[in-house]
Amino acid sequence: MVQTKKISINRSGSKLKSRKGIILKIILGFLVFSVLITFIINTVIAYNILSSMSDVRVEFNEATLEDFHLGGEQIEVFSSDGLKINAYIVPHENSRGNVLILHGMHGMDATSLFGYAQFLFEAGYTPVAVDMRAHGKSEGERLSFGYHEVNDVNAVVNYLKTDDRFQGAPMILYGLSMGASTAINVVAKNDDIAAVIADSPYLSMQRQVADYMKRDGAPSFFVKTI
């Protein structure tokens, strides 16, 4: 008679491993989902902020050169991407240099710079107040934080280079805020620029967006991921 042995298999260990695997997958899935949601929320917030900052037109056109006892002229040039760009020039008979004054965004246009123009003229320079795109009397419906504005500045510089009154004098850029960042971008690729005065440029576009997110009350956790 053949004897058979009963073998008892302990399945509790394998069940425990299986449960741990399921729990681990759930945790990993939750982490991936959280990261994805954070990314989507950040993207939407950043897009809304960028749109609110860029899809604007700023038109003051309140002051005149005469208000500052300046006699000058208004010119129109075309940027390389086809926008009409407006600028005001106050020629100095014995100019020490041509200074293009570049405004910031939203709260300024070229007419906001006539006080600077007066100061520069009295110091012996030819001031050139520029309406960059989407500002003042220049064309355009949105700004680009100093990126495409480079085309606007270069168009004015090229105009000055073709006029006998301004040839031979140094080309200087004096920028405020976005205008300062634009000036830095211009001088990086334009050898005609002799000097740059950059007043309060922003460190980077990412930092600028992050600052606006903080201002608009975005959670600090989201801002830190920018």
The Cα 176–Cα 182 span in angstroms is 9
pLDDT tens digit sequence for 9-52: 556 666 666 777 788 888 888 888 877 877 776 676 666 666 66
pLDDT at 136 over 90: yes
Provide the pLDDT for residue 3.
59
Which residue type, as a one-letter code, is found at position 168? G
Closest CA to 38 of 211, 225, 215: 225
The Cα 10–Cα 8 span in angstroms is 6
pLDDT tens digit sequence for 193-217: 999 999 999 877 777 777 766 776 6
pLDDT tens digit sequence for 106-134: 779 999 999 999 999 999 999 999 999 99
Give the distance, in angstroms, between the CA of residue 154 and the centroid of all CA atoms in the same chain: 17
Provide the pLDDT for residue 152.
98
Is the CB of residue 144 less than 8 Å from the CB of residue 105?
no
The Cα 105–Cα 67 span in angstroms is 23
Provide the pLDDT for residue 165.
96
Complete domains list, the chain, with CATH? 65-203 (3.40.50.1820)
Provide the pLDDT for residue 219.
65
Instruction: Count the Cβ atoms, other than its own, within 10 Å of residue 59.
Output: 13
